[in-house]
Structure 1
Amino acid sequence: MKTLEMMIQTLCQAGRCPEETIRSSVKETGKPAVGCFPLFVPEELVYAAGFLPVGLWGGISSFQKSNQYIQSFACSIMRANLELGLSGKYDMLKAALIPSQCDTLKCVCENFKVAVPKVPVIGVTIPNNRTIQAAHGQLLDEFDYLSQALEQVQTADCRPMPLEEAFAVYEEYRAVMMEFINTVPDYLTTISPKVRHLILKAAWFMDKKYYTAQMRELLDALKARPKEDFTGKKFLVTGIMLDAEPVLELLEELGVAVVDDLLCHESMQFRTPTRAGGTVESKLAYRFLDLKGASPLYEPRKPRGDLLAQLARERGADGVLFCLMKFCDPEAFDHPLVKKDLAAQGIPLLSIEHDQLVESTEQLRTRIQGFLEINLS
């Protein structure tokens, strides 16, 4: 019988080794893989078409070939994705879904077609103005287009299923993940910032049905233990992503736990509740229309600061860590609004600029230590 530590180690290893995990998942399920670029794509359509949806969120620290196709002042996620594609790492993919949720993604969608011709590109258009009824109809039309595009790249290994069945798999996944998110604050010693991140990250590279089953086992084992008395400081993390292990290890070293997040890479993938009633296509559409708090999404009144303040109070967070992705304009535009809203509600905010090329954390160590001593002592 697996112990909790063994379960954690297995999922952390899956999150730490994307290529190895994807190849293992393809072999285990018999499904061909389709890549999903950030930030939000309808994975259920990919799953229903008989493919294994996998996340493409960069993850390398050096760039040799991608500078031919994208400027050096683009975010490291997009540069890394192009670099990996040019290096042949994505040749295993039957297609790549690329949404148009920021200016860089729009450019990469076209550049990827030329730079990586072996991987067919399927563009995903999500309406900007998501509060009008026409957006719902546009999304339903977009889903029809995506389903047809996925049919064009299907292979003999694909075993399509009804969308209702695929949606049910993802609904179960989302429910289990929210249970995990709600349980973590009671076990902040066992679930350190790095462990929490790697467990969530593993979901990007595994079949959601298999991943959900493993998470249920982990949750049962975790809840069987007494709740832990964590004496350090609790941070709520927000941004596009925070996957630099040196930074996560630094937080743990300084006695800081991640009590919750509003990261596009992590809980924002499953945090939005599904509406009741209607067809499964309509429910899937409203999952995109009801998204809140992600900087690349158009929102007339940016609610992110208020969402963070409410979540910080619910979780008992001591402060908010704003992880500003380097060269990410939407995040830079959101930052002053979030800072103003949190200050108005008396919630301390620490902002750090970062990317996937973290080589030294000493300056960051000084900033976090100063923040803890001045604001949270």
Structure 2
Amino acid sequence: MSIVTRRLSAFSTAIILLAATGDSAVAQKKYDIGATDDEIKIGNIMPYSGPASAYGVIGKTEAAYFNKINAEGGINGRKIRFISYDDAYSPPKTVEQARRLVERDEVLLIFDPLGTASNSAIQKYMNEKKVPQLFVATGATKWNDPKQFPWTMGWQPSYQSEGRIYAKYILKERPTGKIGILYQNDDYGKDYVKGIRDGLGAKAASMIVGEESYETTTPTIDSHVVALKSEGVDIFISITTPKFAAQSIKKVAELGWKPLFILNSVGTSTGTVMRPAGFENAQNIISAAYNKDPTDPQWKDDAGIKNFDAFLTKYFPEGNREDLFLMTGYNVAQTMVHVLKQCGDDLTRANIMKKAASIKSLQLEGLLPGVTINTSAIDFAPIKQFQLRKFKGERWELFGDIISSEVGE
């Protein structure tokens, strides 16, 4: 064989190997329904109407953030198509919208659907279909059950863990107080109550002197607040969504009642709860936080808040900066983008859950310093830290250290 022939043969072999390598690279791309070379289709369900409509802005913020990502080139060259439907905070409607997203729209996953009862209504369906129900917008403990429900994962800290933190605070500040609890009559409300009782331990029986529950269809919770005051309560815990949180603040003030007032974190937005209730009525209310509050002057030079503000200016100018739910939407959308980037070209539903369950020390721009996201195959609870805060003037003020909400800490 001549030198020329050998060179041609070697060249041909190299071309064949190069082609094979190229085919292999192409073959390595893996997609499930809802993902292609150009697009990632994400579903979402929000209460844009109904008794919890204040939360609808979370979905609007997420849509705006994904628009930002798309404008910057998408994720690994793919644009996000975000399809968000209203369920009016009604579980039967949630079921209808989940089926629509999975079976008609053929989304890759359903991201950040809101509401404990709403997500409970679709959890079995999503797991039977093996479609990720990812970073659900509720702190119920049931979302951290990877053995039974491997396709469902929460995002925010659990309601029980937040309840335990309030109990610790009460035992330190008012160990002989009389506690009255107002709560929503569903898994969301009952989870908080369990956390408070667990945190109080043996003292729960003597300290909790009144419990009042309300339905989401109730027009007003005023009579429940009056009932708790009549029990001689001096520690009032309001486990309420925004509409009812504002009502509880107004009624306590109207009664001239001055209890130690604790308000759950999901009902503390300055823009949609505290301002409508009246800043003068909200003074010294205690709550817990894990997100930064953009209105807090301590963050005025913070790089993360500057990026958040730039995002609002360009992509969501109508968003109310005082509304803390915007920051929630911003943070959870960033978490979703992180997971999708980690997936690379393997955009299968199984790989999405695998990457979502292997997040290590993720510090988002809008989380408080020291609060990080961590998950594993046996732990589907991404956030486990809080910091206490008190409402002073026209804003929340943080105090104390970052507290781990994990049992035994």
Alignment TM-score > 0.5, same fold: no
- TM-score (norm. length: structure 1): 0.26
Structure holding more helix per residue: 1
- TM-score (norm. length: structure 2): 0.24
Structure holding more strand per residue: 2
Rg bigger for which structure? 2
